[in-house]
């Protein structure tokens, strides 16, 4: 327990508090003010690189082996044999494929499954910002017509932001570059949206189409299973992709500690996790669809309805999301 608290403390020191979440219109009007500070567990915003660094610090370096591309998987009487590019191979008692939305482990099990493009592109960046437009503990998402902009305080005057825009799946960068395109796209949005884009190193702005998969009916077979985005990829609208993988790992560890066999532990883990991850996938898809509406009349109706809905309803739903116990 002390070791686990040490990991949490290390990650929390590199995180920002998430006490209030605002939903705003592009001119800055507040449509909804959602209180997050009274949850059973603290809500923190953490950069994924800081989270991974905190977790990796607890592992012996020899446990991490990079540079191995999976080319084959074969289940034997004694376990699972893996083949890698350049002739390497290994055999293990079980295999957990945690290799993302285009999982090679999943392909070996069930064949290639193409991710589904959901109609919009997502840009991400991290800006150092010392202005006063974002009070401590406050995060937000702003809705426009076919565009959104999210601001997350990840601590120490660092703000992770994301921007979305409807369009073709393989959207080409502007000839002036990503940063210039985004500055132009969000030039008339409320502060500090333009400032955050301008304060981000241009070569560090990431860009990805929004993909997911419909919930899979099966995650594994025999001594092989899937975890995280390999099993249940979702669009990024709830910020739960990495969180779901952590929950998967906890439940999987509990199943291994209680089951009589490897296969029994893997099937129990899958049955326990499918209902929750299916809910997250569907809810995230719905939130993205609503957020990306661009018809002027529909968007005006969305703003009116959102401003009239009780914030407590959303607080209840988010408490269910964030305070989950396995």
Q: Is the pLDDT of residue 102 over 90?
A: yes
Give pLDDT, residue 326.
73
Bond prior to 192 in cis (omega within 30° of 0):
yes
Whether 29 has a pLDDT exceeding 50, the answer reads yes
Task: Look up the pTM and report it.
Answer: 0.92
Predicted confidence band of residue 2 (pLDDT cuts 50, 70, 90): very low
pLDDT of the residue at 5: 55
pLDDT tens-digit series, residues 3-19: 555 788 888 888 998 88
pLDDT at residue number 6: 79
State the pLDDT at residue 1.
37
Cα–Cα distance for residue pair 108/204, rounded to 1 Å: 34
Rounded to whole angstroms, the Cα distance separating 268 from 256 reads 9
Q: Cα–Cα–Cα angle for 314, 49, 8, nearest 5°?
A: 65
53 versus 95: which is more confidently predicted?
95
pLDDT one-digit tens code per residue, 38-79:
767 777 889 999 999 888 888 899 999 999 999 999 999 889
Q: What is the SS3 string spanning the chain?
A: CHHHHHHHHHHHHCEEECCEEEEEECCCCEEEEEECCCCCCCCEEECHHHHHHHHHCCCCHHHCCCCCCEEEEEECCCCEEEEEHHHCEEEECCEEECCCCCCHHHHHHHCCCCCEEEEEEEEEEEEECCCCCCCCCEEEEEECCCEEEEEEECCCCEEEEEEEEECCCCCCCCCCCHHHHHHHHCCCCCCCHHHHHHCCCHHHCEEEEEEECCCCCCCCECCEEECHHHCCCCCHHHCCHHHHHHHHHHHHHHHHHHCCCHHHHHHHHHHHHHHHHHHHHHHHHHHHHHHCCCCHHHHHHHHHHHHHCCHHHHHHHHHHHHCCCC
**Per-residue model confidence as pLDDT tens digits over 149-174:** 999 999 989 999 999 999 999 999 99
Across 104-121, average pLDDT: 97
pLDDT of 325 strictly over 90: no
272 token code pair: 């326990």
* In the chain, % of residues over pLDDT 70: 97
> Is residue 320 very low, low, confident or very high in pLDDT (cuts 50, 70, 90)?
confident
Q: What is the mean pLDDT of the chain?
A: 93
Note the pLDDT tens digit of each residue in 194-242: 999 999 999 999 999 999 999 999 999 999 999 999 999 999 999 899 9
Query: How many angstroms separate the CA atoms of 102 and 29, rounded?
Result: 39
- Domains located in the chain, CATH noted: 2-50+116-212+295-322 (3.30.9.30)
Interval 112-124 mean pLDDT: 97
Nearest to 46 by CA among 243, 247, 197, 191: 243
pLDDT score recorded for residue 137 = 85
Q: What tokens appear for 118 in the block?
A: 């959901």
The arithmetic mean of pLDDT across residues 96-118, rounded, is 97
Q: What is the mean pLDDT of residues 316-323?
A: 77
């Amino acid at each position: 327990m002390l070791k686990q608290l040490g990991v949490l403390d290390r990650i929390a020191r590199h995180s920002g508090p998430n006490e209030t979440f605002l939903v705003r219109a592009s001119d800055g009007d507040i449509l909804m003010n959602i209180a997050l500070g009274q949850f059973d567990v603290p809500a923190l915003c953490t950069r994924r690189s800081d989270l991974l660094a905190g977790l990796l610090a607890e592992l012996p370096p020899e446990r991490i082996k990079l540079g191995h591309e999976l080319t084959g998987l074969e289940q034997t009487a004694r376990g699972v044999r893996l083949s890698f590019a350049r002739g390497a191979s290994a055999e293990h008692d079980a295999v957990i494929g945690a290799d993302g939305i285009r999982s090679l482990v999943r392909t070996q099990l069930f064949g290639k499954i193409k991710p589904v493009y959901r109609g919009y592109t997502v840009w991400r960046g991290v800006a150092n910002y010392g202005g006063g437009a974002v009070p401590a503990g406050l995060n937000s998402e702003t809705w426009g017509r076919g565009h959104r902009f999210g601001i997350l305080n990840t601590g120490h005057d660092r703000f992770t932001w994301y921007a979305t825009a409807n369009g073709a799946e393989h959207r080409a960068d502007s000839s002036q570059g990503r940063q210039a395109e985004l500055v132009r796209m969000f030039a008339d949005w409320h502060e500090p949206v333009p400032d955050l884009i301008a304060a981000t190193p241009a070569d560090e702005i990431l860009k990805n189409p929004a993909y997911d998969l419909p919930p899979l009916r099966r995650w594994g077979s025999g001594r092989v299973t899937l975890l995280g985005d390999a099993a249940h990829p979702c669009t990024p609208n709830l910020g739960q992709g990495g969180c779901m993988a952590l929950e998967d790992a906890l439940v999987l560890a509990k199943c291994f500690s209680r089951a009589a066999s490897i296969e029994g532990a893997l099937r129990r883990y899958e049955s326990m996790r499918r209902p929750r991850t299916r809910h997250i996938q569907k809810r995230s898809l719905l939130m993205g669809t609503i957020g990306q509406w661009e018809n002027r009349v529909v968007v005006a109706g969305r703003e009116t309805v959102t401003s009239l809905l009780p914030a407590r309803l959303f607080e209840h739903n988010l408490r269910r999301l964030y305070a989950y116990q396995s």
